[in-house]
Structure 1
């Protein structure tokens, strides 16, 4: 018989979650908006049941957060901070379900809080932020189902999966891996239940609006996913294992290895352990990014807390040093701790740091490139959604005209009208002869000089005459998905 779960270490676990939230809040206003955040804020102004590259939940959260807490990086990130704190709590609850007493739950919470991936995605608004919390909740409900044999947990699992599908489709991967693991190692009896069918129905019903939107728009997310796999698939496969270790934290490797061994030894949660390698195989097969499988490592981390506790007890000073080193290194590489002059040091490991710097500088460079007398007639065409989002956010302060972009969902929201017959300013990371062939008399004005060597550093500003073809006719031919 599987014993009941121990008492929950609420006070200690909430203290750890609160400490992480305090750190994220203190740092949330440094640097600036991330490229994706600028996009999410514009998407939040165009609320819909779907977008070409994502479901609707994250843009909705961005809209709610800025409406409640202000249109600043700090205000935008409040809900993300709360979600990350909640993730720490769920990891501790998972440790409890695996039989960890209060000290073991505290170890699980601390390991999660000082790991690299969780604070990194918690610092900003991203689909991965809420995806991680959803995966942890799905794992918690699945573990409760296996421990108690109460099939009604399929309902909670299905509801959470449905909400998660409105944020990111990746959630189907861990669920599929878990179901496959249950078929392989059992207990298969939990699959023979009407509650499972009810859970599937709930998930489908909650996710249905976005599925309908994707169907009505010819499944653009499949186009984007295929492009990502084609462009980055080989590199993703080569770097999969090293990045798994680096993104969680190398010194936590023994904890999640111990967690896998413990789950296998306990027998009843073997399917949870097997789900991780099955998920890795699936992600490698499709050429997905390493972080697609990373959330399940937090489940193994929770399971490894109890055996790790015994080692911690015997080696207190060494354990404290290891955790402190992990926290410092994780925060340096994932949070805006360093001055901007030193960010080039971490960009090779985590390019997301650099993606938060330079957007106001780009906007100022664009403003300086357009003579005041031409601003009312100039069409600004940004090459990607980050540039367009930055110009939408900071452009009004410089009296810039509305920036357009053929990238992702920006192409669907607005395009230049047929009456726009003035000069065109093309913003391109690299000059595109194909794009410029649509406009006569193109010449380079200047390049963007950012304080860090991020993707936008060196971006070109090219002035052209009005397009040869009217904008409404040209627009479908210049749009791009990735």
Structure 2
């Protein structure tokens, strides 16, 4: 076991908590602009159908979406309260990590500010997503791992294991940073922390907490592996090509010097060298599986925390200018500060901005075509959408427009509801692009409208197609309509 390290500096509680409070104020003030993101619309429906798992994710994010809307209201602002608080806590944890590396109160404050203005934290903090809670979990895991390495106290494995278990109930990606850190420990040490019964205890705690979802996945033939394989197959090449550019851009290009200095600083500390090495190891793992670039971004915040103290010796004007530029660019590209009509400007960099706009317009278009179906046919008519965002939007806005529940074969929507076989009447299809193979499952299909959104997002230009009826009973048709990605 490693020797006990010197004690850490005092925690800059008031300055750091003040930065976190500013993050809460900013995110709250902007949370009601634009509208729900497509994933949020899906999470809200999933939260109404709570289970120990879904085909594409564990249960934590839908549960938190349910809690937030039940307590604070079913509005974009109400939905995002818990996400906002999670991001503010993340800022505090980054400062605590800086403290573990010996940063003074000023260094801790700078680390908190860097995290608070980073594009990745603001982007995931504005929305409800699995990445939002993943980021907080990863930062906590890193904090406990650094405490373990600094002190040599194996009991930190318990805290690490508990946090990992909870994170596994949100997203399985947490195995990547843990695996990267373990491999880095084997390569550069200190290996003594691995020779401890506390490690086995931490693994046991993680396993017990994660077990309900693991059992659910086992009972349902591991659908999440099918989803992950499909994502990698569809996007793997693009993800690999864009990995390095997005690593440099998504946190902020102005923070590159900070995390480069942080990497060098950790490499010079024998007890922390494995934390530095974990980042390139993680990058190689993400590249190998064709994962998205943001899978590795949380560890960059750890390097930022490590570099903050040395940045204090740089020109104050240069540092201030870099932070201001980071804040401005992060806000423009990740927060809803632009008029909705101007969002096309940022969509090439961050398409998630556009995915928050146009859902009520889509619902209005569907409602207009639904009302053209003869009244005596509507009781046997069905609305079927191509993806969970469209179905979620119609579930959210449809009741006020007199629409029946929309169905979809996408992800877990396929498990929640299926039209009864008595629905033999007209079918309204929402398709991003018309597909003859898909429409072959229905009779007499004709495009009756086009979705016209404010911005160039996925649904802009989508086709609304009216068919006379399903070609087969819905129970027979349903397996053919299922989509995992």
- Contact kept in structure 2, 1:375 and 1:400, CA below 8 Å: no
Partner deviation per Cα, 1:410-456 (whole Å, 9 max, x = no partner): 00000000110110001100011111111111101011000000010
Q: Residues 195-234 of structure 1: matches in 2 within 5 Å?
A: 195-234=198-237
Who is 2:347 aligned against?
A: 347
Cα pair 1:229 1:288 within 8 Å, conserved? yes
Matched, 1:252 2:255: yes
Which of 59, 62, 78 is the matching residue for 1:56?
59
Counterpart residue number, 2:312: 309
Aligned equivalents of 1:481, 1:263: Cα separation in 2: 41
Task: State how many pairs are aligned.
Answer: 479
Aligned to 1:25: 28
Question: Which residue of the partner structure matches residue 366 of structure 2?
Answer: 366
Unaligned runs of 5+ in 1: none
Shift of 1:290: 0.4
Give the TM-score, by structure 2 length.
Answer: 0.98
Q: How does 1:63-462 map to 2 (within 5 A)?
A: 63-311=66-314, 315-371=315-371, 373=375, 374-462=377-465
Distance 2:357 2:304 in 1: 33
Between 1:322-331 and 1:160-169, the stretch displaced more is: 322-331
- In 1, the alpha carbon distance for the partners of 2:263 and 2:256 equals 11
For 1:376 and 1:69, the matched residues in 2 are separated by 35
Q: Deviations over 1:134-177 (max 9, x none)?
A: 00000000000001110000000000000000000000000000
Structure 1 CA distance for aligned equivalents of residues 348 and 138 of structure 2: 28
SS for the counterpart of 1:298 is: helix
Q: Secondary structure at the residue paired with 2:383? A: strand
SS at match of 2:268: helix
**Aligned twin of 1:16:** 19
Question: What's the TM-score, normalizing by structure 1?
Answer: 0.99
Q: What root-mean-square deviation, in Å, do the aligned CA atoms of Structure 1 and Structure 2 show?
A: 0.8
Q: Aligned partners of 2:85, 2:258: CA distance in 1, in Å?
A: 25
Distance in 2 between the 1:50 and 1:263 partners?
38
Query: Following the alignment from structure 2 to structure 1, what is the Cα–Cα distance between the partners of residues 321 and 187?
Result: 40
Q: Give me the whole-angstrom Cα distance separating, in 1, the residues matched to 2:202 and 2:289.
A: 27
Which whole-Å CA distance do the structure 2 matches of 1:421 and 1:54 have between them?
Answer: 33
CA distance in 2 between counterparts of 1:299 and 1:43 reads 32
Q: Is the 8 A contact 2:251 2:297 kept in 1?
A: yes
Tell me, yes or no, if the aligned pair for 1:378 and 1:401 is still in contact at 8 Å.
no
